[in-house]
Structure 1
Amino acid sequence: MRRTSTAITACLLFALTACGGTDVKADPAACKKAMTKAFDDAMAAGDKAEESKRPAACDGLDDKTLKRLAGEVTTEWMKGDKAADELEEDLDEMQQDLDDAVDEYATETP
């Protein structure tokens, strides 16, 4: 869950740190491609992922467009095979953490 939430947070930060309304002509397709790469990089880095900055390819896009693109990137990832693998790993890790916590607090019954 840590890797998944880190990457999704990174992607959403692109939308939330937008400075739309500039005169720069931006290409939404290039922005989405850059967001997807940054998202994939964050997923690969897992817990070691650094806070992401909005890709330069997204400069000049309005907030509404950035939020839509961030939503598309995360939705497409969630529907893909990578998402299932990552979520399975996260669930396994959570189960191990839970098992460890139970073992730590378990007491022997007389």
Structure 2
Amino acid sequence: MDKQYVNARKTGTEGSRPAACDGIDDDTLQTIAAEIAGKHASDDFNKAIDDASQSVDDFVNGLDTEAP
């Protein structure tokens, strides 16, 4: 399911119930899918924070100032 999620985000295609999930009820499957989406959202958020922090650091380091 994780691979399908990543592929869907890249291509916009919809996933389907993986064979490994046969026999798992819909509620449990939806819970697993929500956990996967939540993990990726958290990872994306953390990367955005890291990227923003790096951009600020790069900007500050690029300032042309003299020491007092």
TM-score of the alignment, normalized to the shorter chain, above 0.5 = yes
When normalised by structure 1's length, the TM-score is 0.38
Q: State the Cα RMSD in Å.
A: 2.1
What 5-or-longer segments of structure 2 have no aligned partner? 49-68
Give yes or no for the alignment of 1:36 onto 2:11. Answer: no
- One of 31, 48, 52 as aligned partner of 1:68: 31
Contact 1:42–1:50 (CA under 8 A) maintained in structure 2: yes
Amino acid at match of 1:43: R
Partner Cα distance (1:83, 1:43) in 2:
17
Classify the secondary structure of the residue corresponding to 1:52. coil
**Number of aligned positions between the proteins:** 48
What 5-or-longer segments of structure 1 have no aligned partner? 1-34, 86-110
Structure number with bigger Rg: 2
When normalised by structure 2's length, the TM-score is 0.57
1:8-53, Cα deviation, whole Å (9 max, x unpaired): xxxxxxxxxxxxxxxxxxxxxxxxxxx11000011121xxx32321
Runs of 4+ in 1 over 4 A off after TM superposition: 82-85
Task: State the partner residue of 1:52.
Answer: 15
